[in-house]
Chains A and B, each alone.
Chain A
């Protein structure tokens, strides 16, 4: 009888036992650090053992911190440049590779997507070589085209460094976004196109009135995910600019400023406040999306 009771208890509570490793790990490595970093944002720290409560002073200082605003400016500029090219380019590729006129579509789909498999660090190392000022592939090709030696300092010049960063990011992510758009395009009802064609709608008209509404949820999802991902940019510029913030801080993003503050400057409190400001910025953008009704389909 006793044994049967034990087995019943086992049957009832074992699910909780089995999910407990996840819950414990989730709380230990996500909930606790989140709470701890939120609290740290109100302290001045020098290493984890020396803490001085300063209330909102870290946040107040952020507003007058030139480097923080340089980081915000760089990141915002990157987000705008990146998304305004990535979305149309990946959508265009998806439309192209969805067309029956293109041969070897599977090969091209894989080829474009494969860049995403290699990861940001690899791409950064590769682009550092390709964009090298002397002996780099890009300058080499440009030299061939114009007929004399071209030495554009793609990575060393602060303005071009930002462009280089966007180019490397696009190379990495256009194929990935293309796959999403491809799936969305294939889900659009073909009957609508046929009906529109019968009604005399042109290609552009069909694109605007059928394709775009058909893929709108995916389009908005990609924009939103792209914004969030772009605001968290770190590894690519960090490796591309040789573990630094780039020429004249052109590669300083919000996350790299957080990293430098926490792990090079040793100020975990101020770094935490930078992290929470990033959260706030992303939430504001997502909120704006919702307010204007863009995200309801996502």
Chain B
């Protein structure tokens, strides 16, 4: 039976007027109208009482579980405790930034505003750019003071999420960075890496290691990961010396003479006769292949990265060891933080008190920290929890070494890492400087000559960053 649509509409006895655009258009209009009605009147999904946006899959799994039937998740537990339902949405980190930007622009709660939202350290500086009163996140100073958390959370991590005296986020983590190395390969080379307490001593040990392996059929085996076009390693070494690229008064420190010295050291670790490292294979988690194959044998290891290698590189289980970072000078920290996440409350959240209560549960409660330990090894920011006996347990992945205890020990001396709206500019500039300095190394410059040239590069870079800060500032 063919579809026949009567498009002739009788208008009394005067005339028959057909739909002049034709049957297909009429059919499309009718279908569109029906679809529109169905969509408009479909039952809306029941919204949860509270919504949390997270960008890391591991965080989402910690809060809402991995879908195992019968699993009792943190979200379930929170409902039992408070009667409030919680929806955890996994949103791409960049999408979170775009959406939060739009939300802060609208400045109203039209139902799309999350009650809590996680922000990654690389993105947070931009939110601190407006005048204090216009920052979209709710200052948490009062809530943290009243609840007593301010004294319980490690101060160096609260500093990361603060601007002009206001704390805008609760830290998820501490992220102390250590070094991990292929103990089996170093043992075979008869090199005691952990006896190196300073970076120059460490370099000498690594040279011994490479010499051994070069003579034993592995000419391309490199001791440590060294970045030749990125500043992550340099920043860690700067932080060890308590140097932030930009401080909260927007003063630039990237041309501090100690940075020039450190940069020259990094260059000599990457190129020339004393080179001990190479870039890791670019790509998500590709460094694990370098580790498993023994192409590169020492890695900078913040606690978040530790979870990756345990899951992604089981073949090196039992062959690894962890050690604190060597230092440059007495008084330097044996660690620095790498990465980080906060949870913040948008100013226009419907019930900031309820949001804060949920943040306390998901980020700071013993229950949540215990759940987190099932999915990763990230150290919580609450100092009292570091006394948990679990952190003293031997770790089979590291041949029975108590790496939890080592991370705790390092966390206690963690230098504060400051993030300002201009930190990302300083880091991007340093990336370029690192590359230019590496080129100097390739040209054969070394020692004091290299250091002076690095200082010149850094002075120029600092001037450029300063110029950008002055141009970008909205407040005087």
User: Is B197 on the interface with A (CB-CB < 8 A)?
Assistant: no
Pick the residue among B123, B134, B464 that contacts A264 (CB under 8 A).
B123
User: Is B155 on the interface with A (CB-CB < 8 A)?
Assistant: no
A7-B11, A11-B20, A248-B431 are contacts. A49–B134 as well, Cβ < 8 Å? yes
Q: Collect the chain B residues with CB atoms within 8 Å of residue A47's CB.
A: 101, 104-105, 126-127, 129-130, 134, 136
User: Is B229 on the interface with A (CB-CB < 8 A)?
Assistant: yes
User: Is B107 on the interface with A (CB-CB < 8 A)?
Assistant: yes
Whether A264 lies near B293 (C-beta < 8 A) is: no
A45 closest partner in B (C-beta): B474
Q: Collect the chain B residues with CB atoms within 8 Å of residue A155's CB.
A: 282
Pick the residue among B282, B293, B425 that contacts A265 (CB under 8 A).
B425
Q: Collect the chain A residues with CB atoms within 8 Å of residue B471's CB.
A: 57, 61
Q: How many residue pairs between the two chains, A and B, have CB atoms under 8 Å in the bound complex?
A: 132
User: Is B305 on the interface with A (CB-CB < 8 A)?
Assistant: no
User: Is A115 on the interface with B (CB-CB < 8 A)?
Assistant: no
Closest 10 CB pairs of A and B: A248-B435, A247-B229, A266-B126, A46-B129, A48-B105, A46-B130, A248-B229, A156-B279, A50-B130, A155-B282
User: Is B346 on the interface with A (CB-CB < 8 A)?
Assistant: no
Q: Cα distance A248–B429 when bound, in Å?
A: 9
User: Is B289 on the interface with A (CB-CB < 8 A)?
Assistant: yes
User: Is A133 on the interface with B (CB-CB < 8 A)?
Assistant: yes
- A127-167 with Cβ < 8 A to chain B: 128-129, 132-136, 149, 151, 153, 155-158
B219 closest partner in A (C-beta): A149
B229 closest partner in A (C-beta): A247
- A159-198 with Cβ < 8 A to chain B: none
Whether B281 lies near A264 (C-beta < 8 A) is: no
A158-B229, A248-B229, A266-B129 are contacts. A133–B101 as well, Cβ < 8 Å? no
A134-B281, A153-B279, A263-B101 are contacts. A248–B474 as well, Cβ < 8 Å? no
B20 closest partner in A (C-beta): A11
Whether B129 lies near A133 (C-beta < 8 A) is: no
A14-B21, A158-B229, A267-B472 are contacts. A50–B131 as well, Cβ < 8 Å? yes
Could you list 11 examples of A-B contacts with CB < 8 Å?
A: A3-B12, A18-B21, A44-B472, A50-B130, A50-B131, A149-B220, A156-B229, A157-B228, A263-B98, A264-B126, A267-B472
Pick the residue among B21, B282, B424, B474 that contacts A50 (CB under 8 A).
B474
Q: Collect the chain B residues with CB atoms within 8 Å of residue A260's CB.
A: 428
Q: Collect the chain A residues with CB atoms within 8 Å of residue B424's CB.
A: 264-265
A10 closest partner in B (C-beta): B20
User: Is B17 on the interface with A (CB-CB < 8 A)?
Assistant: yes
Q: Collect the chain A residues with CB atoms within 8 Å of residue B11's CB.
A: 3-4, 7
Whether A247 lies near B281 (C-beta < 8 A) is: no
Q: Cα distance A157–B282 when bound, in Å?
A: 11
User: Is A245 on the interface with B (CB-CB < 8 A)?
Assistant: yes
B223 to chain A, nearest CB (A): 15
Say which size band chain B's interface belongs to: 35 or more
Q: Collect the chain B residues with CB atoms within 8 Å of residue A242's CB.
A: 282-284
**Digit string of B270-304 for contact with A (CB within 8 Å is 1, else 0)?**
00000000110111101001100101000000000
**Digit string of B464-475 for contact with A (CB within 8 Å is 1, else 0)?**
100110011010
Q: Collect the chain A residues with CB atoms within 8 Å of residue B428's CB.
A: 67, 245, 249, 260
B107 to chain A, nearest CB (A): 7
User: Is B395 on the interface with A (CB-CB < 8 A)?
Assistant: no
User: Is B375 on the interface with A (CB-CB < 8 A)?
Assistant: no
Q: Cα distance A4–B472 when bound, in Å?
A: 65
- The interface centre, meaning the residue of B220, B230, B281, B464 with most chain A CB atoms within 10 A of its CB, is B281
Q: Collect the chain A residues with CB atoms within 8 Å of residue B436's CB.
A: 248
Q: Collect the chain B residues with CB atoms within 8 Å of residue A57's CB.
A: 471
Q: Collect the chain A residues with CB atoms within 8 Å of residue B14's CB.
A: 1, 3-4
Q: Cα distance A47–B471 when bound, in Å?
A: 16
B438 closest partner in A (C-beta): A248
Whether B20 lies near A156 (C-beta < 8 A) is: no
A153 closest partner in B (C-beta): B279
Count contacts on A: residues with CB < 8 A to the other chain: 52
Q: Collect the chain B residues with CB atoms within 8 Å of residue A64's CB.
A: 467
Pick the residue among B17, B127, B279 that contacts A266 (CB under 8 A).
B127
Q: Cα distance A141–B137 when bound, in Å?
A: 52
Whether A248 lies near B101 (C-beta < 8 A) is: no
B468 to chain A, nearest CB (A): 8
B17 closest partner in A (C-beta): A7
Whether B229 lies near A157 (C-beta < 8 A) is: yes
User: Is B77 on the interface with A (CB-CB < 8 A)?
Assistant: no
User: Is B421 on the interface with A (CB-CB < 8 A)?
Assistant: yes
User: Is B432 on the interface with A (CB-CB < 8 A)?
Assistant: yes
Pick the residue among B105, B127, B435 that contacts A158 (CB under 8 A).
B435
Q: Collect the chain B residues with CB atoms within 8 Å of residue A243's CB.
A: 94
A156-B282, A248-B435, A265-B424 are contacts. A44–B474 as well, Cβ < 8 Å? yes
Q: Cα distance A136–B286 when bound, in Å?
A: 11
User: Is B434 on the interface with A (CB-CB < 8 A)?
Assistant: yes
A44 closest partner in B (C-beta): B474
Q: Cα distance A67–B431 when bound, in Å?
A: 12
A156-B228, A249-B432 are contacts. A265–B131 as well, Cβ < 8 Å? no
A14-B21, A50-B134, A249-B431 are contacts. A128–B282 as well, Cβ < 8 Å? yes
Q: Collect the chain B residues with CB atoms within 8 Å of residue A267's CB.
A: 129, 472
**Digit string of A241-260 for contact with B (CB within 8 Å is 1, else 0)?**
11101111110000000001
User: Is A102 on the interface with B (CB-CB < 8 A)?
Assistant: no
Q: Collect the chain A residues with CB atoms within 8 Å of residue B468's CB.
A: 65
User: Is B97 on the interface with A (CB-CB < 8 A)?
Assistant: yes
Q: Cα distance A4–B228 when bound, in Å?
A: 79
User: Is A66 on the interface with B (CB-CB < 8 A)?
Assistant: yes
**Digit string of A43-76 for contact with B (CB within 8 Å is 1, else 0)?**
0101111101000010001001111001000000
A66-B464, A248-B229 are contacts. A48–B295 as well, Cβ < 8 Å? no
Whether A151 lies near B282 (C-beta < 8 A) is: no
- A242-298 with Cβ < 8 A to chain B: 242-243, 245-250, 260, 263-267, 270
Q: Collect the chain B residues with CB atoms within 8 Å of residue A248's CB.
A: 229, 431-432, 434-436
User: Is B384 on the interface with A (CB-CB < 8 A)?
Assistant: no
Q: Collect the chain B residues with CB atoms within 8 Å of residue A134's CB.
A: 281, 289-290, 293, 295
User: Is B15 on the interface with A (CB-CB < 8 A)?
Assistant: yes
B424 closest partner in A (C-beta): A264
A47-B101, A47-B136, A247-B228 are contacts. A4–B17 as well, Cβ < 8 Å? yes
A209 to chain B, nearest CB (A): 48
A13 to chain B, nearest CB (A): 12
- The interface centre, meaning the residue of B136, B282, B436 with most chain A CB atoms within 10 A of its CB, is B282
